[in-house]
Structure 1
Amino acid sequence: MLRKMSLAIAATLMMAGAAYADPIEGNWKTEAGSTAAITPCGGGFCITLKDGKHAGKKIGTFNANGGTYAGKITDPANDKTYTGKASVAGSTLKMSGCVLGGLICKTQNWKKL
């Protein structure tokens, strides 16, 4: 009985931790200086540029994967799409786009607005 209760408490705490993880939703300042809006869409999250040279362009879709996010990210300058991953720590969003199964990646740190 005690073992079942301990497992139930542990599972509850793990789910609560995920629920209180830093949210990816909101407006972020990219390294290029544009503002990217991350909003819920289709069971995941969509990234759209709000200003700058590529304003209005949808550049990514991500799904939650535990405390991280995975999906696709597009470079707005050349319209190439990459396998993407992201994680949030406080006011910083670490965004990566990779090719060749993750052998070559480019990472940017975006700041929460």
Structure 2
Amino acid sequence: MKLAISHITMVPAFIAGLAFASTAFADPIEGVWKTQPDRKNLISHIQISECKGKFCGKILSAYDSSGKEVKTPNIGKQLFWDVASKGEGKYGGGDFWVPLIDVDVDPQITLSGNTLTVKGCEHLVCGHQTWTRLSGN
């Protein structure tokens, strides 16, 4: 009987351990990131999450140069998807949508501490921004 009771008491500890393990192994790219101002001088907050074993980014909100929140039709839209970790802080593959010119580019993302260098190229034309971490790992 003691064996059965000890197994029952271990179940909550095991479940708690699983919950901790799932948060402890979150990728460092996951979280909310603040973009640099775009050509319209808007700053966006981007949520980067794990999506089916890869990473995706969604536009959470946008702000004007004074910091006032603005509504745009892009809020809630996917900015990138199917981006994979390449190791050593580098991410790529998938697609990255550039809302201002409505084009998809090949993303190249590099993580260094609390900054992301986000680069996208279409043919020979490339653009890049540096994003800063607002929350997450």
With normalisation by structure 1, the TM-score equals 0.74
Quote how far apart the aligned CAs of 1:78 are. 2.9
Is 1:57 aligned to 2:77, yes or no?
Answer: yes
Output aligned runs, 1:29-108, within 5 Å: 29-32=34-37, 33-52=43-62, 53=72, 54-61=74-81, 62-67=83-88, 68-71=90-93, 72-100=95-123, 103-108=124-129
What is the alpha-carbon distance in structure 1 between the residues aligned to residue 78 and residue 33 of structure 2?
A: 14
Structure 1 residue 23: Cα displacement: 1.1
Gap runs ≥5 in structure 2: 1-24, 38-42, 63-71
Alignment gaps of 5+ in structure 1? 1-19
| Percentage of identical aligned residues | 34
**Partner SS state of residue 50, structure 1:** strand
1:43 CA drift (Å): 1.2
Q: Which of 1 and 2 has greater Rg? A: 2
Number of residue-to-residue matches in the alignment: 91
Structure 2 CA distance for aligned equivalents of residues 63 and 36 of structure 1? 17
Cα RMSD (Å) of the superposition?
Answer: 1.6
